[in-house]
Structure 1
Amino acid sequence: MGKLLLLLLNSALLWCWILITSPGACSQNETDRLALVSFRNAIHEDPYGVLSSWNDSTHHCEWRGVLCSKRHPGRVTSLILRSQGLGGFLSPHIGNLSFLRFMVLQNNSFRGEIPPQISNLLQLRYLYISNNSFGGPIPSNLSRCSNLRMLNLIDNQLVGRIHSNLGSLPRLEALGLSKNSLVGPIPPSIGNLSLLQQLSLAYNTLHGEIPEELSRLERLTLLQLLSNKLTGEIPPSIFNISSIIYFFVSWNRLLTGTIPSDIGTTLPSLRVLAASNNLLIGTIPSSLHNATSLEALSISSNSFHGPIPKTLGRLKSLRWISLSFNQLQDDLSFISSLANCSNLEILSIGSNLIQGSLPRSISNLSASINQFNMPNNQIQGTMPLTLGNLFNLSFLNLEENFLTGRIPHSIGALYNLQQLYLARNMFTGEIPSSIGNMTLLNVLHLESNNFQGSIPRSLGNCMQLIELDLSNNSLSGPIPVEIMELSSLSIVFSLAHNNLSGSLPVQVGSLKNLGTLDLSYNKLSGLIPASISECLSLEWLYLEANSFQGQMPQALQPLRGLENLDLSNNNFSGPIPSFLAELSLLKYLNLSFNELEGQVPEGGVFRNASAVSVSGNRKLCGGALILNLPLCKSPSSNKSSSTKAIVISVVAGSLLCLALLFLSIFCYHKKKQTPTNASTSLSFENQFLRISYEELLRATNRFSETNLIGKGRYGTVYKGILDGCATMAVKVLNLTRRDALRSFVSECQTLGTIRHRNLVKILSVCSSIDFHGNDFKALIYEFMANGSLEEWLHPRTIGQDDGSGESRNLRLVQRLNIAIDIATAIEYLHKGCNPMIVHGDLKPSNVLLDNDMVARVGDFGLAKIISTMSAEAIGVHDQGNSTSTAVRGSIGYVPPEYGMGHKVSTLGDAYSYGILLLEMFTRKRPTEEAFGNSFNLHSFVQMALQDQVMEIVDLSLWSEAGDQQQHIKIRDCMISIFEVGVACSMETPTDRMDMTEVIKRLYSIKASYETKERRTGT
């Protein structure tokens, strides 16, 4: 029986061998054909009909994209279907093509996981499946494909770690895993790939240090590790791989160390050195001139210092120099040394410490230069006339320097210029009309200079402009019609803070694609033209502080995309149109200080007290209770009911007389019962309800410790309930403290004359004598159920509860809302009050939170009323003439100029607000011991921008970052917020950001953050 089975088995094997080797074997061996059919069936998208030839009427070796072996007929050796729009899955039967050497499927739409059966392709040499949507991990058994020379999985959605067994592919020459979502460290085993020439791991989330084992890759020409989270020092031994041509480690943010001084000698073939956005230090090696083929040097956003080597001028192949955001100290003489760089296209050295004047030799730069970028330096003097010789420039940025004089007319010769940034300098004179010659211009920023005269009509020739900002100058005259007809404007059009006059041209309707229109703080007048209804893309519209008149324009009704609308400080009259409540995207509405009247709508944006302002309109009524407006009178009766009205009036009058009689009797008996320590009279108290000491004693349970809310500089605050009514907060002044009485008077005078939804409301005062015959003074406020911002930021114990059993923590959006509330209150004090008021002591303990977590600014004990718009009001003082030499406010929040004897100012409040804003999001007090005399919260945050911002953010905000996208979203939001805080807390008062601008920025940051939340589904 055994011999029979053995005979049958030998016969079967013989038959299989005959099938494979005989001339007719191709038609009978269906293995490869069936594998291709399975491959075809897994593809669901074939827009170009590539697979139409894959049918039974033709041999599979004749199918499009398929190549077969000549030595082994019918066996598939190549499958090449790049860029064919194919969509679907990669069939696991692909592993049956055992003779396959080349598989090229790049630039298609394959999805799903890479099947592990691909490891059966033992003859595979080239695997190109880049630019698809493959997900899941890299198959761990790919190391079985020991003949692989090129492995390209770039630009997919692969996840997980890089397997260490990839280091056992002995013939691998190129490994491409960039643009995926890979995590974990770089396996040191990669250093075993002795034939590797190209290593591309960029745009992942790899972390850990760069393995020193990579220095064993002696044939490496491309090292691409940028945009990961790699840390630590770049191994110095890597700079000894003399074959390296392309070196990319940018955007890891936490890589440290230096660039070796002899890099030009050790890497003589270097063409690209890209190490930007890290923590590298040291100087720029002068030896780079030995790398004679160097084309690109990009080391921006590090901490390099010292001069710019003039030896860079010897590199004739140099096309790109990017050194921005470092601490380089040099004059501009190095520009002359670059004249030999005949291929130079990009020169970017912004945000350094470059000084001196722009030399005339700037015209000697390469005729091919198209980007000249030197903002935020210390460049002085005037713009050279020869700048106009760089006729191929497409990008010119000299913002935030100290350039003076006029812009030369020769600038109009830059016919190819597309973006021009000259903002925040000290240019004077008129804007040259020759700018209109730049017909390719799409971005023009000239804001914050000293330009005078009219806006040149020639700007109407720039018909590709998408951004135009001429704000914060001294421009006068009307708005040219030619500019209003630029339908290309789509992002920003700002003429704010000038002296423009006349009406808003009817051609404003041409701005159909515009997102932001800012004409605030000018002298514009007349009606808003109805044509503004055609600006359907408007999201932000700022027309405040002009002299527009008439009723609120109905033409705004079609603008359904409006998010921010400010029409305050104009002469608008009539009712508030109800359609404003129907604009569903509206998040900020300011109608204050007009002549509006009638009932305030209650829907839409009007429901959010922190998003709407209608103060300064004395004839408004109704609306949400939080607006504190009087109730609207009911409509008067018609003539047919006049008799009934007379009867009602007579009855009402009789009842009123009777009530007054009873009230007189009550007051007489009350007066007789009042002890000799009854409340005394103060002239500023007459507007408040008078409460006696005895009543406060009962309300606070004899000022017991259980009712204690907090203690301040001049008094103690208790919770109280007055005769079973609403809860209140009672601030009892400590009259033994110096200036306590002055604080009491100041607070009464201030809070007694102002009303705002973001200010603590004072209900009453008490100026009396206690039972021991001592003077007693107290202020009675609304009770804020959620306490102070101080208690939320710095609880007395870790995990302190708010009574609900949950740890007190403020989410990012809550903090933003509170920051906006505070800024809105301060803006009201500075611009909405007449005379204006300076708070003088802004800090977390003086910010209270109501039931809805709406912030209310309180404690006006140091407030100062400024009666005139003098130097005091704008924060410019003569120290010798100052009469306010005492430092006012709280340590850490007091602006530095107060310590030098300057008077209090609105810009001092801006400083305090900036510090408060930084504290809110770092949770660090400005008085921490880590901040010495030469270091403070402002500089601490400023140094962390942009690269280390997430290292200084309050750790509790990290919990909101569930994934990488949310992490990036929060990081970008925090950078913007910190930039506002830093701008407000600048040392020089005139450099500080205005509260109106703060509100705009914060609303913009919030809108951007919430939009990203909606997009990511968080």
Structure 2
Amino acid sequence: MHLKRALSRYILQVTMVSTCPKRPGNPGVLILLTLPLLLLGAIKINCATLPDNSTDVLCLQAFRHEITSDPFGWFISWNSSANHCLWPGVICSRAHPGRVVALQLFGLYLAGQISSSIGNLTFLRTLNLSTNGFSGRLPPLKHLQKLQVLDLSVNQLQDSIPDAITNCSNLRIVDLATNILVGEIPPKLSLLYNLSHLRLSRNNPIGVIPPTLGNITSIQRLGLAYNNLTGTIPDELGKLTNMRMLALGGNRLSGGFPRCLFNLSKSLQVLGLESNMLSKQLPPNIGDALPNLQELYLNTNVFEAIDIQSWEFFSALTNCTSLEWLSLAENQLHGAIPNTIGNLSSILDYLYLGGNELSGTVLPSIGNLRNLTFLGLGNNNLTGTVEEWIGKLIKLQHLNLQMNSFIGPLASFLGQLTQLIDLDLGNNKFEGPIPSNIGNLQQLSDFEP
């Protein structure tokens, strides 16, 4: 009793040693605390508050716990025997040791749900879980303010795109394509001012293309293809003067060709408007206004050409000297193919004009397109012979002339097309037997005489 009273009158300093247990990323911590003696009986050490990056470790473990299928055994080494920064797919910061800055687990056919714990990896800059089998909801992202790359494409995520994604103000790339996302495209995506790539293709969103997307002036690639979008293409997209690729095909968009895109004359290289309900005549100056086009997909719409004047767009496309792919199939193009077809880009690789109402002969100038590997003229009303021009297209791999009224023998040109893989000549008026030199076509895998 006398000793206790004596101690209570003095603040004696002692040193206490405590050890926190080993955890992933924490080999054990010795803590030296100098405390008043009388507090020793009440003190408790909270190891979770120590600066050992255990939060990131716990987040990764929670993410691993939600994985129901790992066919390649990717997570076998995700255990406490190795530092978490050495786990496959995990990249840590050099400036902030132990903090996870990238999680790259793409193409592994993983299944399960994406744990909400991902949202607590506050140093994360890259999250790539693409080409897996993740289902359920999108993970919460609002705390990932350092995130720059978000790629969850090619999964089975079933959710609407939350407005909270705009809290990730440093995002440069957002790819959510090929999932089962629903709802409308949030107009607030326009708050992501740093975006260069936005890809939401092949989902199930509804509604219109938000005009506010025109505020993301940094964007270079915008993919909204193969959804259920309706309405017209907003004029505001004409403000995206850095755009190189615009993919809006496979929707239910209406109206005419969006002339607002002529503002993108210096940048636009790939334009996909296929499989919509776009109509009317194509602008006669399309090739002058968009001279840098490399790929142009206008097939499966209701674009019309009924006279020489309405075919002027085709001649204008000869100004696109870098054009490699051109598809105008399954529209309402009538009449003869203009002779200017031979003036199209000398590097044109793919030309598809099938499924229209084309008539007359195919002029020999088409033989100038020596780099064609695909030529589709099927399902039209074309006549005449083909041997004059077809023999010059020696790089052809795919040739479709079916369902026309072509005449003449086949022997004189087939043997020269040694790169052919697919050949469809059915439902024409060719004469004579199937030529023996078809045996020269060693690559041919599909032949429809």
TM-score class, shorter-chain normalisation, is 0.7 to 0.9
* CA distance 1:108–1:406, change in 2 (3 Å): closer
Report the Cα distance in structure 2 between the residues aligned to 1:410 and 1:73, rounded to whole angstroms: 68
* CA distance 1:84–1:23, change in 2 (3 Å): farther
8 Å CA contact retained: 1:299, 1:322: yes
AA aligned to 2:98 is G
Out of 350, 353, 362, the residue aligned to residue 320 of structure 1 is: 350
Alignment of 1:461-540 (within 5 A): none
Equivalent residue for 2:178? 155
Alignment of 1:253-402 (within 5 A): 254-282=277-305, 283=311, 284-314=313-343, 315-333=345-363, 336-365=364-393, 367-402=394-429
Matched, 1:33 2:96: no
- 1:824-877 Cα distance to aligned partner (Å, 9 max, x none): xxxxxxxxxxxxxxxxxxxxxxxxxxxxxxxxxxxxxxxxxxxxxxxxxxxxxx
- 1:411-446 Cα distance to aligned partner (Å, 9 max, x none): 443333322223xxxxxxxxxxxxxxxxxxxxxxxx
Alignment of 1:135-284 (within 5 A): 135-242=158-265, 243-252=267-276, 254-282=277-305, 283=311, 284=313
Equivalent residue for 2:5? none
Larger CA Rg, structure 1 vs 2: 1
1:26 Cα deviation from its structure 2 partner: 6.7
- 1:897-925 Cα distance to aligned partner (Å, 9 max, x none): xxxxxxxxxxxxxxxxxxxxxxxxxxxxx
Report the Cα distance in structure 2 between the residues aligned to 1:191 and 1:418, rounded to whole angstroms: 46
1:118 Cα deviation from its structure 2 partner: 1.1
8 Å CA contact retained: 2:159, 2:182: yes
Report the Cα distance in structure 1 between the residues aligned to 2:446 and 2:87, rounded to whole angstroms: 51
1:160 Cα deviation from its structure 2 partner: 1.5
Q: Secondary structure at 1:364's aligned position in 2? A: coil
- 1:793-822 Cα distance to aligned partner (Å, 9 max, x none): xxxxxxxxxxxxxxxxxxxxxxxxxxxxxx
* CA distance 1:26–1:273, change in 2 (3 Å): farther
Report the Cα distance in structure 1 between the residues aligned to 2:82 and 2:151, rounded to whole angstroms: 27
1:320 Cα deviation from its structure 2 partner: 0.8
1:151 Cα deviation from its structure 2 partner: 0.1
Report the Cα distance in structure 2 between the residues aligned to 1:119 and 1:359, rounded to whole angstroms: 64
Report the Cα distance in structure 2 between the residues aligned to 1:51 and 1:126, rounded to whole angstroms: 23
8 Å CA contact retained: 1:271, 1:294: yes
Report the Cα distance in structure 2 between the residues aligned to 1:382 and 1:63, rounded to whole angstroms: 66
1:311 Cα deviation from its structure 2 partner: 3.2
Equivalent residue for 1:65? 89
8 Å CA contact retained: 1:288, 1:312: no
8 Å CA contact retained: 1:107, 1:131: yes
1:397 Cα deviation from its structure 2 partner: 2.0
AA aligned to 1:281 is E
AA aligned to 1:210 is I
1:188 Cα deviation from its structure 2 partner: 0.9
AA aligned to 2:356 is N
Q: Secondary structure at 1:189's aligned position in 2? A: helix
8 Å CA contact retained: 2:387, 2:412: no
* Greater percentage in helix: 1
8 Å CA contact retained: 2:366, 2:389: no
AA aligned to 1:300 is A
Q: How many residues align?
A: 396
Equivalent residue for 2:42? none
Matched, 1:81 2:109: no
Report the Cα distance in structure 2 between the residues aligned to 1:160 and 1:46, rounded to whole angstroms: 31
AA aligned to 2:145 is L
Q: Secondary structure at 2:261's aligned position in 1? A: helix
Equivalent residue for 1:94? 118
Out of 119, 133, 136, the residue aligned to residue 142 of structure 2 is: 119
* CA distance 1:23–1:215, change in 2 (3 Å): farther
1:129 Cα deviation from its structure 2 partner: 1.0
- 1:492-522 Cα distance to aligned partner (Å, 9 max, x none): xxxxxxxxxxxxxxxxxxxxxxxxxxxxxxx
1:224 Cα deviation from its structure 2 partner: 0.8
Q: Return the TM-score normalized by structure 1.
A: 0.38
Equivalent residue for 2:80? 56
- 1:754-797 Cα distance to aligned partner (Å, 9 max, x none): xxxxxxxxxxxxxxxxxxxxxxxxxxxxxxxxxxxxxxxxxxxx
AA aligned to 1:382 is P
Report the Cα distance in structure 2 between the residues aligned to 1:358 and 1:61, rounded to whole angstroms: 64
8 Å CA contact retained: 1:332, 1:359: no
1:49 Cα deviation from its structure 2 partner: 2.4
1:385 Cα deviation from its structure 2 partner: 2.1
Report the Cα distance in structure 2 between the residues aligned to 1:240 and 1:121, rounded to whole angstroms: 35
1:292 Cα deviation from its structure 2 partner: 1.0
Instruction: Tell which has more relative contact order, 1 or 2 (C-alpha 8 A, sep 6+).
Output: 2
Report the Cα distance in structure 2 between the residues aligned to 1:64 and 1:30, rounded to whole angstroms: 18
8 Å CA contact retained: 1:123, 1:147: yes
Report the Cα distance in structure 2 between the residues aligned to 1:47 and 1:373, rounded to whole angstroms: 42
Q: Return the TM-score normalized by structure 2.
A: 0.83
Equivalent residue for 1:760? none
- 1:687-731 Cα distance to aligned partner (Å, 9 max, x none): xxxxxxxxxxxxxxxxxxxxxxxxxxxxxxxxxxxxxxxxxxxxx
- 1:108-153 Cα distance to aligned partner (Å, 9 max, x none): 12111002x2121111100011111111211221111111100001
Report the Cα distance in structure 2 between the residues aligned to 1:139 and 1:77, rounded to whole angstroms: 23
Large movers: runs of 4+ above 6 Å: 22-26
8 Å CA contact retained: 1:358, 1:384: no
Equivalent residue for 2:440? 413
In the alignment, structure 2 segments of 5+ residues that lack a partner are 1-28, 32-48, 306-310
Q: Secondary structure at 1:191's aligned position in 2? A: helix
8 Å CA contact retained: 1:385, 1:411: no
Q: Secondary structure at 1:103's aligned position in 2? A: strand
AA aligned to 2:270 is Y
Report the Cα distance in structure 2 between the residues aligned to 1:409 and 1:76, rounded to whole angstroms: 65
Q: Secondary structure at 1:257's aligned position in 2? A: strand
- Give the aligned CA root-mean-square deviation in angstroms: 2.1
AA aligned to 2:361 is D
* CA distance 1:66–1:419, change in 2 (3 Å): closer
1:23 Cα deviation from its structure 2 partner: 12
AA aligned to 1:309 is P
8 Å CA contact retained: 2:185, 2:205: yes
Report the Cα distance in structure 1 between the residues aligned to 2:327 and 2:203, rounded to whole angstroms: 24
Report the Cα distance in structure 2 between the residues aligned to 1:228 and 1:35, rounded to whole angstroms: 39
* CA distance 1:410–1:77, change in 2 (3 Å): closer
Alignment of 1:816-965 (within 5 A): none
AA aligned to 2:336 is P
8 Å CA contact retained: 1:385, 1:410: no
1:356 Cα deviation from its structure 2 partner: 1.7
8 Å CA contact retained: 1:26, 1:73: no
